Structure 1
């Protein structure tokens, strides 16, 4: 018997779930109940019975009892005692508090990112990096952040050869850090604080790197890559494919390949004043010029930079965010037209029959992603926040509501005690479109699947944004008659959804591990000589290695296998990026 809950604790008004996990139990223990104790207090404060019990289809040897104690909101430190037919089990302590260490976690994530800065012999080599292929000369691309615990390359994106899986990497981090600084600048407690200053400092560090990654022609380079060997002399401007790291000279970043979010990041940070600019740094006005140049260039050349020559949904949401940031920074009519154009394209990818997004026009393959699923909703809501034309807002608002309600339907379509997000997926070579907690292992990359903490945190961001604007969304969508009631219900459900994913990352998962290093218990390790850093977040839990209907975290048969162990325990800056954004929204 294992008692699972968020290791750190809960806010007084948040949903509060505790789950008891046992082995496979065909005949459930009908006598099982729990008591909540204050630390140091012998008398129980409340008695709880399971609100549901069952097994998740495919998750072998796991049976769950779900307890809901959301009604208990007294700040303090507590623990559970679970009484079963044959034994009693005490859980670990947790807190109920208004802050729940949110500020501490945010501070540590910023320290983690600062610790990931490109430095040492690698950064020295990056001051003169050659190109793969026939191009002569070198470029200065120092700065930025190392990608992961075991990967000292620097990415705007990768997996471009797979077309449908591009994650947004360093540009997303710059864009998010800028927003963090802006949010702290408006915060009652953190306005003018070191937290605000450090967020902007880190954002500028990344923005300076993006400026260096822009070619004189206007495009951005996708990657500074060393084939994962840590040899500073092997670092090159290139793209690559497969787990072998075969280099390619197609290093021009299209909208979906990091170019769109690089433009968005530079356009956004151009609105932030900068004092004490370092000698190798750039001014806000220079960033805006670069963003405009990059956007204009990709309007002409995006398709030729795409590996299959076809735009897809990732191009659309990245380009849309780029246009929206340029609109806010320039106030030019051209960019409102561009934003509307991209939104109209993006809307075409939603398939009511599928109850989800398609990845490419003309294909039935659903859009699924391991890190950025929430970015579509973020783009749509960003557009709605600046659009003044009610007729244009209505269809977009309806798509947001429909897509998020369909997301919640998938959460509830199977027994799902953790309230975990589920995607529509389709494996390569399989005609079936199915719902899944995790991306399929057989995807277009040929190798890349890993824990999805970034995706889960991105969905928390989407849920927070929709929940906060639910009434406005209902009215924009034209659902006037029952708008208040429907908005209240949706907002409550999304709050529970967001809380569930914070809980999962912070310990309420079948492996009882807090995946934010330095907090909670059972922090995952990576490799002895590639240690994880405090404030970082590991990849996380995946579909089963042998059976994708099951779940896994570093199965014992793979320990020591460098070609696989990264999938679970390795930290990646994108996880920390999305989690920081979600955390900031909770701190507002």
Structure 2
């Protein structure tokens, strides 16, 4: 997203003919053309979890065979399992599956495949306990430290259309090419707000506090505590004296001459607006949740950042009290929607956890009821008070995660059961819509509407990727965060059902039935290399990473995750498939690293490792 600034700057400078003559490296990534490909998670697979390779074949030969090797030695052989015909991404290809989930001995695995005269091998992948966490945890955390924003100028920033100046120092830059800082953006479009810096702060505080044994076992406890308090300190500074959080510190993506300030903005031009007071959906809810959890972490650890645990809790309570009165008027349309419900619910759960006050449970019950009322009979959610389906490119799993958190604080059996029923319906919907069509990679599908006159309207459609014609007017990109959020939701929600005895029997990894475990694994596998491009979006891990495109996507940090794969350029509905086709000025959509991606990946791998040290 940040790299959009580069694109806009480029458009403003087209009159400078000399710049067009500068040598540039044009990056264009197309689908591999080899007749036989074996795609696999290139980073790590869980010893007692789903393990699957996908074979793509463009040829005329019939059935093929495979061999699974562990540490270079064959351990399993068989015939390739054909999958349903699938033409949307690569017409003429056939797809096969190799499942080696029953191979539970640690080691380095590889899948060799032969069809006719063609032979191909997968990338090698380590298999172990706590696989992705143990392999990547230190660098996922390191990404946040590498992304810290420490420019002293942020200690004295103007608020848009005001003479006031405030201290908004600290936090994290939002993306590889964007030094802006966001609790959220896209608020002007009402239904697209992603939880950005405040979500990161909450995941870090939650991990350090609730998953302490996991991080300590890998020597990462001090590191995650430091980063959690860094995030909490930033949230304290961005809490205005009136009680609202500043949504954005923005400079039009680094456009020369643009003033950096506390502001809202909208559209591809980055036009400054007064929408800088964070509603629940614009990062305010998760900021409250993060501060409340940071207060618990401070109490548990005996440590804190620049401010102490008592201050963090006081901030959270003051922020909630303010939004309880004024939240609706901070939204662009003056109405609350589903994002307000699930982020406010997260805030209330954490306030109740931190304070024990019954008033927060009362309000959480109301928010949970509102969220559940938005659910359709088949388990999908509606975003508004009408028929707009809920779809989200960064946090589609957060409604289930918020309801799962609410279950943990609800003592009344009837209310708890209603939340569990909603979780069960939501997870069933995700499985149903994803499996409704041929889908060799198990990529999570979604419902959506296209826009008409700036509003979602018309037929409710289904597809793999976010539609390009949506209410933002310009914003669409890869969905690495969305996939990790759905993986986390399937694990967290699925375990909640299992704990309450409402899930099917039979476990196939992560304490889940086979279909749920496979779904959770499929979403992370896509980001970690098991996709049609054979590319791991997690930089520094896997056989092949996205290219560096400084002109439009900025820096690439180890532990950062690129936006990822999208529908084809020019497709309103996001059908087809594309990754970094050029021109360079647009490549932020695929290549740029963005803080929600690493945030959600960290949360998902914590969930996978939840019951292990």
TM-score, normalised to structure 2, is: 0.88
CA shift for structure 1 position 484: 5.4
Q: Contact 1:180/1:196 (CA < 8 Å) preserved in 2? A: no
The answer as to whether partners of 2:265 and 2:271 remain within 8 angstroms in 1 is yes
Q: Does 1:534 align with 2:562?
A: no
How many Å separate the matches in 2 of 1:98 and 1:313?
37
Q: Distance in 1 between matches of 2:288 and 2:375?
A: 25
Partner of 1:485: 505
Question: Matched residues in 2 for 1:221 and 1:402: separation?
Answer: 36
Q: Report if aligned partners of 2:236, 2:315 keep a CA contact under 8 Å in 1.
A: yes
TM-superposed deviation, 1:148: 0.2
**1:238 counterpart (257, 263, 268):** 263
Question: Take 2:429 and 2:199, find their aligned partners in 1: how far apart are those partners?
Answer: 26
Instruction: Kindly provide the CA deviation profile for residues 276-311 of structure 1, in whole angstroms up to 9, marking residues without a partner as x.
Output: 656xx2111111111111111111111111111110
Provide the residue aligned with 1:204 in structure 2.
Answer: 229
Q: What pairs up with 1:18-33 in 2 under 5 angstroms?
A: 18-23=53-58, 29-33=61-65
**Residues 1:229 and 2:258 are matched in the alignment:** no
Supply the distance in 2 between the matched residues of 1:180 and 1:423 (Cα, whole angstroms): 29
Separation in 1 of the partners of 2:279 and 2:105? Answer: 51
Q: Deviations over 1:342-369 (max 9, x none)?
A: 111111110116x4100011x2110100
Distance 1:90 1:185, change over 3 A: closer
Q: How does 1:143-542 map to 2 (within 5 A)?
A: 143-187=170-214, 190-191=215-216, 194-229=219-254, 234-273=259-298, 281-352=306-377, 355-361=379-385, 363-429=386-452, 431-475=458-502, 485=505, 491-528=513-550, 530-542=554-566
Q: Is the 1:29–1:85 Cα contact (8 Å) retained in structure 2?
A: yes
Classify the secondary structure of the residue corresponding to 2:113.
strand
Q: 1:90 to 1:304 in 2, by over 3 A?
A: closer
Residue 492 of structure 1: CA displacement? Answer: 2.8
Q: Are 2:128 and 1:97 equivalent residues in the alignment?
A: yes
Tell whether the 8 Å contact from 2:134 to 2:218 is kept in structure 1 after alignment.
no
Contact 1:426 1:432 in 2 (8 A): yes
User: Following the alignment from structure 1 to structure 2, what is the Cα–Cα distance between the partners of residues 192 and 91?
Assistant: 31
In the other structure, the counterpart of 1:124 is 152
Taking only aligned residues, the RMSD between alpha carbons, in angstroms, comes to: 2.0
- Distance, in Å, in 1 between the alignment partners of 2:523 and 2:373 is 29
Partner SS state of residue 50, structure 2? coil
Shift of 1:91: 3.1
Q: Which structure 1 segments of 5+ residues have no match?
A: 476-482
For residue 579 of structure 2, what is the aligned residue in structure 1?
A: 553
How much has 1:572 moved relative to structure 2? 0.4
2:50 alignment partner in structure 1? 15
Matching residue of 2:90: 60
Contact 1:526 1:565 in 2 (8 A): no
Query: Matches of 1:545 and 1:245 in 2, distance apart?
Result: 22
Secondary structure of the 2:590 match is helix
Using the alignment, how far apart are the partners of 2:122 and 2:316 within structure 1? 52
Secondary structure of 1:570's counterpart equals: coil
- Structure with greater contact order relative to length (CA < 8 Å, sep ≥ 6): 2
Find the aligned partners of 1:519 and 1:582 in 2 and give their Cα distance.
17
SS of 2:490 mapped into structure 1? helix
CA contact (8 A) 1:176 1:581 kept: yes
Deviations 1:201-254 (A, max 9, x none): 101101111111011000111100010126697211100000110000121111
Deviation at 1:419, TM superposition (A): 1.4
CA distance in 2, matches of 1:78, 1:102: 18
Q: Is the Cα contact below 8 Å between 1:464 and 1:585 reproduced in 2?
A: yes
Shift of 1:88: 2.0
1:373-427 CA distances to partner (integer Å, 9 max, x unpaired)?
A: 1110011011111111111112211111011011101121111121111111111
The answer on whether the counterparts of 2:465 and 2:575 sit within 8 Å (CA) in structure 1 is: no
Q: Gaps (5+ residues) in structure 2?
A: 1-35
Question: Matched residues in 2 for 1:262 and 1:8: separation?
Answer: 32
How many angstroms apart in 2 are the aligned matches of 1:486 and 1:67? 21
* 1:275 CA drift (Å): 5.2
Describe the SS at the equivalent of 2:68: strand
Provide the C-alpha distance between the structure 2 equivalents of 1:20 and 1:484, rounded to a whole number of angstroms: 30
State the Cα distance separating 1:179 from its structure 2 match. Answer: 1.3
Asked if 2 retains the 8 angstrom alpha-carbon contact of 1:15 and 1:496, the reply is: yes
* Displacement after TM superposition at 1:9 (Å): 3.6
Write the distance in 1 (CA, Å) between the matches of 2:431 and 2:411. 29
After superposition, the Cα gap between the structure-2 partners of 1:231 and 1:224, relative to the gap in structure 1 and judged at 3 Å, is: farther
Query: In the alignment, what sits opposite 2:25?
Result: none
Shift of 1:58: 1.9
- Farther-moved stretch of structure 1 (324-333 vs 3-12): 3-12
Shift of 1:90: 3.1
Contact 2:480–2:564 under 8 Å retained in 1: yes
Distance 1:159 1:101, change over 3 A: closer
Q: TM-score, normalised by structure 1?
A: 0.91
**Distance verdict in 2 for CA 1:231–1:213, change over 3 Å:** farther
Cα distance, 1:466 vs structure 2: 2.0
Contact 1:397–1:474 under 8 Å retained in 2: no
1:115-158 CA deviation, whole Å, 9 max, x = no partner? 00002xxx21101001111x112101100000000111000101
